[in-house]
Structure 1
Amino acid sequence: MGFCRIWASVVLLALAAACATSPTGRRQVMLVSPDVAIAESAIAYVDTVRELEEDSKLLDDAVLAGRVAEVTGRVIAEAVALYPHTAAWQWSVALIDDLESVNAWCMAGGRMAVYSGLFERLALTDDEFAQIIGHEASHAIANHTAERMSIVLLTQLGLSVIRADAEEDNPSALSVAGLAAKLAIELPNSRSAESEADRMGMELAARAGYDPEAAVSVWRKMEALSESRPPQFLSSHPSPADRRAQLAALVEEMRPLAPTAPPEPHPIEIVN
């Protein structure tokens, strides 16, 4: 037990030294720095794009590429204006040819992807797509990747305690440790992080000139789609009905943010 107490002290000291604050004022545990998260995400993105190319899963659609670049560029222009450090990020969007996947994501550092099924099965308007891309970009801006990586690191510290205390002839303790590691690695964004990305993304889209009401309509479409088969996008998100109600309460707050003229789109690399 002495070893456990020592490791517990180490973890508590790490937590005390690694507290951070998100753009909305939420307290975060940040054992992994945003710079490390961006560097690791860059490697993962290159590997992902290479696999997509090898499998011929990148979508060569000039019309969709132009649309994605325009909407994303306007939203990211506002992100850069509000968070100047993101101007140096490698903002890009991979177009993935997968009509069955209703999904989108953004890694640390602004590397994103959207799936063709997102447009095909939801019949997205530009206003609705702006809400989705704003939400995903906000995960990166709020350092949610680094936050999840930190949770994994803390889990690994806990596993060290379990392994140290487990007897060599007690495989059950080690199997529980392995399960805990797997769950931590696959951990989605927390509900608080999702709500944070909702608010931030809605603001970015509104400032870019997109209708905040679209945040409600896109989740209404998600809700309808989930009645038959939940889209992949919902696997790490709260229920569409709850999300829709929360967003509806923000619409009037966001309307005054609309610009007199749309911003000039920030350059976005389209990977297709």
Structure 2
Amino acid sequence: MKRLTTILAAGAALCALSACAYNESLGRNQFLIVDDSALIQQADAAWAETLRTQRTSSDAAANGRIKRVGDRIVEAAGLTDRRWEYAVFVNESPNAFVLPSGKIGVTTGLLGLVRNDDQLAAVLGHEVGHVTARHAAERYSTSAATGLVLSGVQGAAGDYAQAAGAIGGLGAQLGVLLPFSRRDELEADRLGVDYMQRAGFTPRESIALWRLMQAQRQGSNPEFASTHPSDSTRIAALEQYIESRGW
């Protein structure tokens, strides 16, 4: 009982220190115990390390292309208050990532896959959407809170601490962290389409992009065990949203 009281007290303290912030772009509250500014230093260090350890392309046309399209998306998102950096990484896997400090990486595999700048804008819009949505800070906050609760559970489990930690960790991953990530991806898809439209790109090309991704993907985890929604889920959600907006 004493240990349970300690767990509950820790949870109450966490709630007291945290804030539920309303994100207008998402239309919902977010659980945040850190903000993006607290992650900037880590993000910049991760970017520098990635540039140091991964091969980047010196292709002027490819680099100019992602900067040209990216800058239009950033302006449409209202995020010109920070200095954005882009890099093309030599990797056959079609992928892209964003850091909250305003860094976007795109692979040569992705540039080889997209058929036009509209589809590239769909990718970059999605990545910028993660920044607007403050998903990095939200994921960090959720992970930290989950870790606190699980450490308390393990402490209360006595001799079964190791088993409880393994089971609890798996349950938290499948029941909390991964579903949140899938939600984040769909939110970023929707925001990205908004930015595409504002920047003068064709929103429906985002659907064409995901159909290309679906066609080239050889296999994937079942959706319930994946950090990303299935391609079919994303396509259906995008079709519904774009139709609702009359685009």
Query: What's the TM-score, normalizing by structure 1?
Result: 0.78
Cα separation, 2, equivalents of 1:97 and 1:157? 39
The answer on whether the counterparts of 2:154 and 2:161 sit within 8 Å (CA) in structure 1 is no
Among candidates 147, 162, 185, match of residue 156 of structure 1: 147
Q: CA RMSD in A?
A: 2.8
Aligned to 2:71: 73
1:44-123 superposed matches below 5 A? 44-52=46-54, 57-80=55-78, 86-99=79-92, 101-120=93-112, 122-123=113-114
Of structures 1 and 2, the one scoring higher in RCO (CA 8 A, sep 6+) is 1
Aligned counterpart, 2:45: 43
For the structure 1 residues 237 and 181, does the alpha-carbon distance in structure 2 shift closer, same or farther, using more than 3 Å as the test?
closer
1:48-101: CA deviation from partner (whole Å, max 9, x where unpaired): 22212xxxx111111111111111111111112xxxxx33323111210011x1
Change (3 A) 1:177 1:216: closer
Q: Choose from 106, 126, 132 the match for 1:141.
A: 132
AA aligned to 1:113 is G
Inter-partner Cα distance in structure 1 for 2:211 and 2:160: 53
Deviations 1:226-271 (A, max 9, x none): 2x3459xxx6321112211211223345567xxxxxxxxxxxxxxx
Matches within 5 A, 1:206-225: 206-225=197-216
Aligned positions, number = 240
In the alignment, which residue of structure 2 is the partner of 1:30?
32
The answer for unaligned runs of 5 or more in structure 1 is 81-85, 257-272
Q: TM-score, normalised by structure 2?
A: 0.85
Q: How many Å apart are 1:188 and its aligned residue?
A: 7.9
Aligned match of 1:167: 158
Aligned-pair identity (%): 33
C-alpha displacement of 1:182: 8.5
Mapped to 1, the partners of 2:172 and 2:244 lie a distance apart of 41
CA distance in 2, matches of 1:198, 1:169: 42
Is the CA contact (8 Å cut-off) linking 1:212 and 1:255 kept in structure 2? no
**AA matched with 1:88:** D
2:14·2:145 contact (CA, 8 Å) conserved in 1? no
Aligned residue type for 1:110: G
AA matched with 1:165: A
